[in-house]
Amino acid sequence: MEHIAIYPGSFDPVTNGHLDLIHRGLKIFDRIIVAILKNPKKQFLFSLDERMEMLRVSLNGSPLVEIDSFDGLLVDYAAQRGASAVLRGLRALSDFEYEFQMALMNRRLNREIQTVFLMTGMRWIYTSSSIIKEAAQFGGDVKGMVPAGVNERLIAKFSRPVDRRCAWTVSGWIFGNFRCSAGWWRPKVFPRRQHSSTSPSRPSAAMSRTLKPISDVG
């Protein structure tokens, strides 16, 4: 009997961490179906077709991995595809709390579908699609964290004119520098305003004549 697992997710975009989990999952299961949930209420950077295409290219058309999409309950889709398990990755304790709740709910809905957790590889434990997108948005180099084709799409997606948004860095708070994809730059420094002789911060000549040193008072 063929053992099939469903690996669900949004994959917006697919990362090297996702690919690592798929390759390791194939050592346990005969076949893996990478399933993208259709969620019209959620805003994605890449369209469903773009995400499916990036997965196909990143996996080099592996015959043991199928790319598909679904809507509705995950356990219902798994049963329709003849899968016996749901494959999920865990990066940290915060992931476990959410995944544990989902696994219990799926088991309540269909006790024939098991959830299998794999720990994320140490190289990818800090990466996620959302973090990678945020870094790429501000010109960060995410090469090595995503497949080459995905990196090219991210660069094309976030390419902007010269007056693009810039992100503060630690040195920005100290030195007034911004970090842009175009490089470092310092905002224009406006000349300090000259105080007039009548400025409240500096006593006028008339006031100076009436002020006496403390030692002279009394």
Catalytic residues: 18, 42, 91, 129
CA-based radius of gyration for the chain: 29
| Long-range contacts (CB closer than 8 Å, 24 or more residues apart) made by 57-60 | 57/147, 57/149, 58/14, 58/19, 58/147, 58/149, 58/150, 59/19, 59/22, 59/34
SS3 category, 105:
helix
Q: Measured between alpha carbons, how far is 14 from 54 in angstroms, rounded to an integer? A: 7
Cβ atoms of 197 and 205 within 8 Å: the answer is yes
Is-contact 86 74, C-beta < 8 A? yes
Which residue(s) pair with 90 in the sheet?
119
CA distance 27 to 212: 89
